[in-house]
């Protein structure tokens, strides 16, 4: 038994609290329940299911519409003197709550990029569900080993063509700084596309289809981001933006294939949110903390679970044609990109300094949410008590 406290290095929290993560999963379940039942597919595969948007989607499917879910994630279990990753506790908590409610759920822990994990998932679908009718692809990963060649690819977050220099924030200390990043090499661009682009999503869908575990009419979705001018050079026009463009092109290809059996592949452009993945992007932390302030003031703020709940109810399964932009994408970033919100953020961006931070940025909201993703700061948990890190 050990006392587990947040330990943060380079914007990454390397500890997580088992009971806090479980409480955070229960809070998301509670939110979905409070919104009432919804009708969506009943046999669901979520790839990247232990955290952020993927976890939220799994919760909406299971607890909003009673779906059976298979969740794939890549997480580290706890040891007697070392906490597990947050996602490991989240998956265990999800399973516990689903079991309690009689909702069929299976976790697969391993590298989704490998053939072995795809094989294991297909076996599980065949033996438990027969087919799946909805596949959510929500991976955010730093590296990928090519299953065909064994080559290792790493993603980088860099501008393309010229150096990036921008205001930024050290979100732990609240100090406004200048962030810089050198432009990516051609190889770095290609590697980032290989990791975060659409190739693995396509491999999954083609494999599921080939093994006949994708139901006729099945829907699949992956998540993209665009964002404002302020982050354009580092995000949408940078390496990660190239990967997102590739993901979006993949959606069009997959959609054409799935259409022949009445199915579809869709991109949802989601809102910028604090997650384990987004906290490490230079400049984006400052943007998010200004955005949170502007959106909370207008009562437009959403977290992962609110975004996913709205995606299901208002877009994917509303019973009407799915509203899409000119590029065929769902725009769940509609409130983030509202002109009054963006204008407020742009003005704050100009004015914000270390001294007046509280006036323009919701740094506390950012930090609280970051910590909550690791199970810290949840009400009702006594963090001074020793806990067993190997279970929730
Ligand atoms: P996250 O870090 O909260 O969750 C990532 C998930 O991927 C976890 O479940 C993790 O276990 C899983 N994962 C990572 N590597 C894996 C591997 N090799 N095998 C199996 N599972 C693996 O990330 P977040 O922020 O929820 O991102 C998910 C997607 O949403 C990404 O495509 C991201 O670009 C997109 N997105 C995120 C936004 C944000 O602001 N956070 C905004 C819009 C889109």
Tens of pLDDT along 193-226? 999 999 999 999 999 999 999 999 999 999 999 9
Give the residue, by CA position, lying nearest to ligand 1 atom 31: 140
**pLDDT tops 90 at residue 386:** yes
**pLDDT tops 80 at residue 351:** yes
Give the residue, by CA position, lying nearest to ligand 1 atom 14: 141
Instruction: Please give the model's pTM, rounded to 2 decimal places.
Output: 0.97
Which of the residues 31, 137, 235, 292 is marked catalytic?
235
Provide the CA 378 distance to its chain's centre, in angstroms: 20
3-state secondary structure 32-43: HHHCCCCCCCCE
Instruction: State the pLDDT at residue 174.
Output: 85
Q: What is the pLDDT of residues 138-192, one digit of tens each?
A: 999 999 999 999 999 999 999 999 999 999 888 778 899 998 899 999 999 999 9
Q: Tell me if 54 CB under 6 Å of ligand 1.
A: yes
**pLDDT tops 70 at residue 111:** yes
**pLDDT tops 90 at residue 288:** yes
Lowest mean pLDDT among 230-244, 275-289, 361-375: 275-289
CA dihedral 24, 28, 29, 32 (to 10 degrees): 170
Q: Tell me if 111 CB under 6 Å of ligand 1.
A: yes
Domain boundary assignment for the chain: 8-147+185-282+302-334
Q: Tell me if 50 CB under 6 Å of ligand 1.
A: yes
CA 373 / ligand 1 centre spacing (Å): 13
Residue 278 pLDDT class (50, 70, 90 cuts):
confident
What's the CATH architecture for 8-147+185-282+302-334? 3-Layer(aba) Sandwich (3.40)
Residue 282 pLDDT class (50, 70, 90 cuts):
low
CA 277 / ligand 1 centre spacing (Å): 6
From 11, 28, 49, 52, the mutation candidate for ligand 1 (largest count of ligand atoms within 8 A of CB) is 52
Q: Which atom of ligand 1 is nearest to the CA of 270?
A: 43
Q: Which atom of ligand 1 is nearest to the CA of 224?
A: 44
- Respond yes or no: is residue 235 known to be catalytic: yes
Instruction: State the pLDDT at residue 108.
Output: 98
Q: Tell me if 278 CB under 6 Å of ligand 1.
A: yes
Mean pLDDT of the chain: 95
CA 275 / ligand 1 centre spacing (Å): 8
Instruction: State the pLDDT at residue 357.
Output: 93
Percent of the chain with pLDDT strictly greater than 90: 91
CA 347 / ligand 1 centre spacing (Å): 30
Q: Which atom of ligand 1 is nearest to the CA of 222?
A: 32
Q: Which atom of ligand 1 is nearest to the CA of 139?
A: 7
Q: Tell me if 48 CB under 6 Å of ligand 1.
A: yes
Q: What is the pLDDT of residues 23-76, one digit of tens each?
A: 999 999 999 999 999 999 999 999 999 999 999 999 999 999 999 999 999 999
Over residues 289-310, mean pLDDT: 97
Q: What are phi and psi of 202, to 5 degrees?
A: -65, -40
Q: Tell me if 247 CB under 6 Å of ligand 1.
A: no
Provide the CA 332 distance to its chain's centre, in angstroms: 13
- Are 157 and 234 contacting, i.e. CB atoms less than 8 angstroms apart? yes
Percent of the chain with pLDDT strictly greater than 70: 99
Q: How far is CA 345 from CA 173, 241, 329, in A?
A: 21, 21, 24
- Are 277 and 312 contacting, i.e. CB atoms less than 8 angstroms apart? no
Instruction: State the pLDDT at residue 235.
Output: 92
**pLDDT tops 80 at residue 340:** yes
Over residues 288-311, mean pLDDT: 97
CA 1 / ligand 1 centre spacing (Å): 30
| Sign of the C-alpha dihedral computed for residues 377, 271, 250 and 144 taken in this order | negative
């Amino acid at each position: 038994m050990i006392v587990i406290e947040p330990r943060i290095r380079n914007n990454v929290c390397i500890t997580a609290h088992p009971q806090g993560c479980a409480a955070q999963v229960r809070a998301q379940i509670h939110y979905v329940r409070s919104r009432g039942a919804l009708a969506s597919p009943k046999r669901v595969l979520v790839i990247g299911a232990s955290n952020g948007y993927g976890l939220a989607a799994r919760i909406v499917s299971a607890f909003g519409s009673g779906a059976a879910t298979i969740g794939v994630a890549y997480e580290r279990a706890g040891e007697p003197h070392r906490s597990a990753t947050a996602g490991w506790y989240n998956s265990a908590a999800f399973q516990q709550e689903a079991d309690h409610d009689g909702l069929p759920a299976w976790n697969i822990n391993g590298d989704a990029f490998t053939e072995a994990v795809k094989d294991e998932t297909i076996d599980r679908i065949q033996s438990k569900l027969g087919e799946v009718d909805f596949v959510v692809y929500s991976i955010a990963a730093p590296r990928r080993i090519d299953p065909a060649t064994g080559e290792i690819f790493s993603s980088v977050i860099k501008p393309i063509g010229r150096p990036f220099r921008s205001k930024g924030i050290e979100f732990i200390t609240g100090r406004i700084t200048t962030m810089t990043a050198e432009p990516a090499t051609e190889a770095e661009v290609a590697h980032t596309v290989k990791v975060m682009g659409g190739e693995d999503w396509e491999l999954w869908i083609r494999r599921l289809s080939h093994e006949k575990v994708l139901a006729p009419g099945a829907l699949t979705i992956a998540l993209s981001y665009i964002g404002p001018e302020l982050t354009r050079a580092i995000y949408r026009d940078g390496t990660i933006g190239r990967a997102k463009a590739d993901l979006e092109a993949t959606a069009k290809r997959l959609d054409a294939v799935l259409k022949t059996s009445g199915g579809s592949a869709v991109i949802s452009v989601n809102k910028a949110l604090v997650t384990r993945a987004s906290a490490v992007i230079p400049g984006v932390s400052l943007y998010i903390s200004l955005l949170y302030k502007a959106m909370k003031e207008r009562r437009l703020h959403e977290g992962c679970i609110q975004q996913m709940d709205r995606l299901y109810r208002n877009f994917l399964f509303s019973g009407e044609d799915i509203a899409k932009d000119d590029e065929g994408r769902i725009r769940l970033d509609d409130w983030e990109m509202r002109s009054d919100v963006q204008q407020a953020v742009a003005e704050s961006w100009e004015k914000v300094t270390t001294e007046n931070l509280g006036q323009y940025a919701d740094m506390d909201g950012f930090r609280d949410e970051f910590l909550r993703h690791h199970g810290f700061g949840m009400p009702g948990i006594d963090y001074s008590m020793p806990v067993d890190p190997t279970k929730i």
